[in-house]
Amino acid sequence: MLRLEINSDITGFLQELQDMMNGHASLLAKTQRGDPVYKDSLGWLDTGICAGERELERIEKKAAQIRMRADAFVLIGVGGSNNAARSVIEGVAHRSGCDVIYAGNTLHPRALREMLQKLDGRDFYIDCIAKNFETLEPASAFRGLRQYMDSRYGASAAERVIATGTPGSSLWRLCQEEGYDFFDFPETVGGRYSAVTNVGLLPMAAAGIDVRELVKGANDMQMQLRSLGPQENPAYRYACLRRLFDRHGYHMEMLSSFEPELRYFYQWWKQLFAESEGKDGKGVFPVTGEFSEELHSTGQYIQDGPPAIFETFLDFRQKMDSFVIEPDSRRDGLDYLDGLDFYDINKAAQQATIRAHSEKLPVMTISAEAPDAYNFGQLFYFFEFACALSCGMLGVNPFDQPGVEAYKQRMFKLLGKTK
């Protein structure tokens, strides 16, 4: 169960928040039903559409084969095509399965060379995930990896190649010609909303994540968010709070946590909100805070800089790790820590930070039970739904990203691409 708590004193905003929650109630109802304006982008809204029994069986069967025949799995993808899987694979406390190596998210030569070096002497599979195979990072890395595979596996290389893309695309045609296994990137789901589809689930399953639990978490969250009314709906409340703070000049949201395993979840969240909201000169700019480390850098700005940031802490309620500090006879001035658990010290730092920041800026906390597959499923659905609502309130399309084309077209011209 996700919980949303407001940590700072927002008494002065309460009436405005209430008016906002009343004012957008019809948007909530429309989003819950599936807004017909966006019908071609709502495949994620009902988890049964893209992660039903048929899809899960195929994913699990393929993942079992991969885990049996390989010790590494290369996830080729960028943005929405890799962030969700990576955040779970690097974030869950326990998993058993292939090591996942990430490719197709950079154009840097050293990164590519080092990625290939990691594969030397290991058995591996690759999955090229690209909705639009024109995206240069994954498409070019896929070429390099196929060539490397030929040198390693010869004629049997094709057995180890998977692609997840759009039926009828050039990636799909390549798969037909070369005999690669092909999974659908659902046409009605954009990259950043694709966590609970073949896109996110196949790499997670190859890495040994219990994808059924993840889908269950997302589905339970769906039941909640698509049925609860404006006053009880946590995603709606979160979306209204974002808009409220934005209206009052807090144009940046910092997602902060004292949980280092959330590093890649941050990337997913950042992408979800930045690409969905940043349009028509509007939108909250998403930034992240990896604490406690960044308290020693951005912490200063948050506390004393201009009041432009509101903060959302992400927390897990269950104690997952423990490391007790033993007494030491040497005089290091740290005896007050004797017998304390780093778990509690980290939590004390978190509590103190929330208190300090709450005095300067709007702060809220979203907490989940534990960093496991079920709760990642909950978080994905929660933020996707909230993002669609937040964009609706802002009056922008949550599902397109026209601004990304600006650099791409110039880059293609520089590289001599003609069609």
Residues marked as catalytic? 275, 296, 408
* Site mask for ligand PA5 (CB under 6 A), range 391-410, x = bound: ----------x---------
Q: What number of other Cβ atoms are within 10 A of residue 309's Cβ?
A: 25
Q: What is the DSSP string of 349-361?
A: HHHHHHHHHHTTS
Euclidean distance between CA atoms 380 and 310, whole angstroms? 21
Of 79 and 392, CB closest to ligand PA5: 79
The two three-digit tokens of residue 235, written as one number: 């995603």
**Rounded least distance, CB 83 to ligand PA5, Å:** 8
Of 141 and 363, CB closest to ligand PA5: 141
Answer for which of 131, 212, 226, 270 binds ligand PA5 (CB under 6 A) is 131
Of 21 and 189, CB closest to ligand PA5: 189
Q: Which stretch binds ligand PA5 (CB under 6 A): 127-135, 250-258, 303-311, 389-397?
A: 127-135
Please give the biggest Cα pair distance in the chain: 72
**Rounded least distance, CB 116 to ligand PA5, Å:** 20
Q: Are 384 and 80 in contact (CB under 8 A)?
A: no
129 three-class SS: strand
**Rounded least distance, CB 86 to ligand PA5, Å:** 13
Q: What number of other Cβ atoms are within 10 A of residue 96's Cβ?
A: 8
Of 142 and 245, CB closest to ligand PA5: 142
Euclidean distance between CA atoms 185 and 266, whole angstroms? 23
Answer for which of 43, 97, 138, 200 binds ligand PA5 (CB under 6 A) is 138
Q: Residues of 142-179 as b/e, b for ≥16 C-beta within 10 angstroms?
A: bebbbebbeebeeeebeebbbbbbbeebebbebbeeee
The two three-digit tokens of residue 369, written as one number: 């039970």
**Rounded least distance, CB 213 to ligand PA5, Å:** 24
* Site mask for ligand PA5 (CB under 6 A), range 213-252, x = bound: ----------------------------------------
Answer for which of 87, 135, 256, 375 binds ligand PA5 (CB under 6 A) is 135
| Binding to ligand PA5 in span 78-97, by CB under 6 A | 78-81
| Binding to ligand PA5 in span 165-204, by CB under 6 A | 190-192
Q: Which stretch binds ligand PA5 (CB under 6 A): 6-14, 132-140, 260-268, 372-380?
A: 132-140
Euclidean distance between CA atoms 156 and 176, whole angstroms? 16
Euclidean distance between CA atoms 415 and 403, whole angstroms? 20
Long-range CB contacts (within 8 A, 24+) of 60-66: 60/205, 60/211, 62/162, 62/181, 62/183, 62/202, 62/205, 62/206, 63/97, 63/202, 63/205, 63/206, 63/211, 66/98, 66/125, 66/206
Of 85 and 239, CB closest to ligand PA5: 85
Select the residue whose beta carbon is closest to ligand PA5 and give its number. 191
Of 77 and 392, CB closest to ligand PA5: 77
| Binding to ligand PA5 in span 272-331, by CB under 6 A | 275
Q: Which stretch binds ligand PA5 (CB under 6 A): 4-12, 77-85, 91-99, 253-261?
A: 77-85
Euclidean distance between CA atoms 340 and 240, whole angstroms? 40
Of 76 and 239, CB closest to ligand PA5: 76
Euclidean distance between CA atoms 369 and 280, whole angstroms? 37
**Rounded least distance, CB 75 to ligand PA5, Å:** 12
195 three-class SS: coil
Q: At what angle do helices 53-69 and 211-225 cross, to 10 degrees?
A: 150
| # chain residues binding ligand PA5, by CB under 6 A | 15
**Rounded least distance, CB 400 to ligand PA5, Å:** 8
What is the DSSP-derived secondary structure letter of residue 404? G
334 three-class SS: coil
Q: Which stretch binds ligand PA5 (CB under 6 A): 39-47, 56-64, 73-81, 245-253?
A: 73-81
Q: Are 267 and 86 in contact (CB under 8 A)?
A: yes
Q: Is 105 in the site for ligand PA5 (CB under 6 A)?
A: no
Of 132 and 367, CB closest to ligand PA5: 132
* Binding site residues, ligand PA5, CB under 6 A: 78-81, 130-132, 135, 138, 190-192, 271, 275, 401
